[in-house]
Amino acid sequence: MTNRLIVAILLFLSLLFSSPVFAQDSDARHPLLEDDFILSVGGFLPSKEFKIRVDGQVPGRDIDFNEGVDVAKDDATGSLTFLWRFGEKWSVGGQYFRTSDSGSLILSEDISWGENVLKSGSSVGAGIDVDVARIFFGREFSSGPRHELGAGVGLHWLQIGAFIEGEFFVNDASSGFRRETATADAPLPNIGAWYWYAFSPRWLLSTRVDWLGATVGDYSGNLWDASAGINFQAWEHVGLGLSYQYFGIDLDVDKTDWLGRVELSYSGPFISLNVNW
């Protein structure tokens, strides 16, 4: 556990126990179960793993950005989520976050990037940028004074960019120092479900999972997006949240400008402030 995470948890707990409270009413519902709009902003502190492959004339092995290139893996990133309930049982929600990592390392073995080869013992730089936007349309199937269960369909829009730079060789001849890049953007539909349970008018447990396992256009593979956490409603329209989130994709890419594979996962705590009305 990093020092930043310890400080964040302590800050969360100090805010929780020092906050003024609204009256406890055994018949009152938790505000997140009845308000129409919920907006949440927070910080995501993920542990990251990613592998990239770009195939040329001869397919190469995956480049493990955690082992092959020394990149930062625990940087915090901001995230924005929203939920709008409309009608009696329908809702639409969304989330956006972005991560960016770069680093350098001396290679212990040759690696391939398309038709280019980076030689063992050379110094290389590499990086990856990932943008994730999620929108989800859901319907309640069961609800009561303390709980809500629903399911629906959604769409994840991914934008992935990776680069590697160094002295490249083609057919054992040096082509000089340069940067090679690859980009892909993928709209990936998915199905999902959620369950919320309120222990009291101030405490609420939330769980959510989205899943995709299919071939969509130029992409085929799996996507998981899940979270589980707890919300403390410090004021009637303001709450604090602490959850654990996981996002992972394992995709084969078959595009004219990128033939290869992407494997990445982000997992870790998400600390948030929500406004609801």
pLDDT in tens, 28-49: 789 999 999 999 999 888 888 8
pLDDT at 73: 53
CA 77 to chain centre: 10
User: What's the pLDDT tens digit per position in 87-101?
Assistant: 889 999 999 988 887
pLDDT given at position 56: 52
Band the pLDDT of 27: cuts 50, 70, 90.
Answer: low
> Quick one: pLDDT band at residue 71, thresholds 50, 70, 90?
low
What mean pLDDT is reported for the chain? 82
The pLDDT value recorded for residue 238 is: 96
Task: Give the max Cα distance, the chain.
Answer: 77
pLDDT in tens, 225-253: 999 999 999 998 999 999 999 999 888 88
Q: Which domains, and CATH codes, for the chain? A: 3-276 (2.40.128.90)
Which DSSP string do the residues of 57-86 spell out, in sequence order? SS----EETTTTS-B-----EEEEEEEEEE
Among candidate residues 194, 187, 238, the one with its CA nearest the CA of residue 214: 187
pLDDT at 113: 78
Residue 117 has pLDDT above 90, yes or no: no
Collapsing DSSP states into helix, strand and coil, what is residue 26? coil
What pLDDT is recorded for position 22? 43
On whether the CB atoms of residues 253 and 216 are closer than 8 A, the answer is no
**Residue 36's pLDDT is what?**
95
* Of the candidates 103, 22, 21, the residue with the CA atom closest to the CA atom of residue 70: 103
What confidence score (pLDDT) does residue 67 get?
56
d(CA 78, CA 168): 35
Which of 42, 132, 48, 47 lies closest to 79 in space, CA to CA? 42
Which of 92-106, 115-129, 262-276 is predicted most confidently?
A: 262-276
pLDDT attached to residue 58: 43
Per 3-state DSSP, what percentage of the chain is helix, strand, and coil (rounded to 5)? 5, 70, 25
- Whether residue 131 is predicted with pLDDT greater than 80 in this model: the reply is yes
